[in-house]
Amino acid sequence: MGEFDFGVIQRSLGYLFREGMTFTLTLTGIAAAGGIFFGTLLAMMRLSSHKWLSLPATGYVNLMRSIPLLLVIFWFYFLVPYIGAWVTGASQPLKVGAFTSSVVTFMLFEAAYYSEIMRAGIQSIARGQVWAGLALGLNYWQSMKEVVLPQAFRNMVPILLTQTIILFQDTSLVYVLSITDFLGAASKIAQRDGRLVEMYTFAALVYFIVSYVLSHLVKRLQLRIAIIR
């Protein structure tokens, strides 16, 4: 057993949290918000009676769910510059930073998972409610916005949050793009100072505490919602 120096953690706390954890939380936040937005749209498309809407959405969700996140990260890292060039009409692939690329990746990848949750949420609302809305003269978007989605979100909040905790853990995979997220920051210090044991143990501990506390809060929220219903 070698000599351990846990002082290295204390000396690098500022870097780890100001740089690393800030990036991790920003990425998680944006990706969750965007993922829930696009996921809801995907869910609505999948439940549509128009084949040209439901088929592409189903295909997209199944594709995203059958390949590993790491492969998706690599895909988008190389694809986003081309998509950017196509959108802006540039002749050369755009230069896209690792941050933008990872935000796009996680948003679009998680949208597939959130859409499955939202689909269940929308389906949990009695059909009669939609009919009632239509009978009152609401159009599709109005009945979705005023009647179905508010209840669907409310029913699915605990599951959406649980998925967001998984997303928080998954963001550690941006490590492969050499980004300084929380794990990336810990890894950089670990390599620089040769303190792998201390830094990786500390990183594991921080991820554990954050995820554990959050998942317990979600559990309590779930109980509260369950009682109200």
Partner 1 sequence: MNYHWNWGIFWEMSADGRHTWFMTLIMGLGWTLATAFCAGVIALILGSFIGVVRTMPLRWAVRIGNAYVEVFRNIPLLVQLFLWYFVVPEVLPSSVGDTIKAMNPPWASFVPAVLGLGLFTAARIAEQVRAGIQALARGQGMAGTALGLTLAQTYRTVLLPMAYRIIMPPLTSETMNLIKNTSVALTIGLIELTAAARSMQEFTFQVFEAFTAATVIYIVVNLIVVNLMRWLERRVAVPGFIGPAVGGGGH
User: Does residue 200 interact with partner 1 by CB under 8 A?
Assistant: yes
Q: Does 37 bind partner 1 (CB under 8 A)?
A: no
We find the least distance from the C-beta atom of residue 136 to partner 1, in angstroms, to be 26
**Could you give the 3-state DSSP secondary structure of residue 96?**
coil
Q: Work out which of 22, 100, 151, 201 binds partner 1, going by CB under 8 A.
A: 201
Q: Does 70 sit near partner 1 (CB under 8 A)?
A: yes
- Residues binding partner 1: what is the number (CB under 8 A)? 41
List binders of partner 1 among 76-105 (CB under 8 A). 78-79, 82, 85-86, 91-93
Q: Which x/- pattern over 116-155 shows residues binding partner 1 (rule: CB under 8 A)?
A: -------x--------------------------------
CB of residue 21 vs partner 1: minimum separation in angstroms?
13
User: Which residues lie near partner 1 (CB under 8 A)?
Assistant: 1-2, 47, 63, 66-71, 74-75, 78-79, 82, 85-86, 91-93, 123, 169-170, 172-173, 175-176, 183, 187, 190, 196-197, 200-201, 203-204, 207-208, 211-212, 215
